Amino acid sequence: MRRVLETIDDENLGRYEENVLLKKYTTYKVGGVASVVVYPKNVDCLVRLLKVIKEENVKYKILGNGSNVLFSSKPFDGVIIKLDEFNNIRFLSHNKILVGAGFSLIKLCMLACKKGLAGLEFAAGIPGNVGGAVYMNAGAYKSDMGYVVQSVKVLTPELKIIILENKELNFHYRSSFFQTHPGYICLEVLFKLQKGKKELIEEVIKERKQRRLSSQPLEYPSAGSVFRNPEGMFAGQMIEELGLKGMKKGGAMVSEKHANFIINYKNATSEDIKYLIDYVHDKVLEKYNVDMKVEQEFVNWE
């Protein structure tokens, strides 16, 4: 690890922090202490950083906005890489937008709205960044990233930069190429939207915001929906029918407002949340014989 930090300093690869509480960087507001969090200045700095990390055999994790991950409470003895500096945005012709992986998805949605570009309205309430949203194929209201992403600039595990087109990204419900190809990193995304009326786009965004406020426990830390909806079914409905709303473990609780949310209502630990996720999963499997898939990514539990 020492050589990694020396390289960052000597070659001015970006700023970094040591011994960082990961709850500062996750929407669940839980997690252990990470040895180092690094913010590479650009792609060249990222490539150099990864080269030395691999040479030194140091564990690392690319982390977006932390809105869909659950870190354990154990120390993360490695490097967390945040691409916050990858925040460029360019509005191109033919209703296209080129955006860095570290750009806020909500901010992108609002800027597209101001330009009268339609297609991203579904993302107005998703608190991730562009790279994380592509990784998870984030979506809502029967739409997702697969409908609006034309191509992605990617860094391969061999540290080569390539472009993957939409058909190569294997977008499916809450899944993408990146989830099945560890080591590939989203750098920049080309969106293709449609021309629309600004006022109508604003109205859709406003109406959906009100719907979220009334139906989701946004006043508490969470990571959004815990489980994917099985085909033709609703995870929240099954959980509610089992009477699990309001179930608590330590400071974590199955939301009384929306059963498919687990909230950190009172200084929960990662383990409190994980317990509830596993318990709810097993109860649904037992009752309905449905093996619900977790939307969140579990990190540092091995």
Q: Which residues are catalytic?
A: 174, 225, 295
Residue with tokens 């460029």: 88
Give the start-end residues of each E strand in the chain: 14-21, 33-40, 59-63, 69-71, 76-82, 89-91, 96-100, 117-118, 139-140, 143-144, 149-155, 161-165, 185-192, 194-195, 248-249, 252-254, 262-264, 297-299
SS3 88: coil
- Would you call 116 exposed, middle or buried from its count of C-beta atoms within 10 A (0-12, 13-18, 19+)? middle
* Sign, CA torsion 218/221/223/225: negative
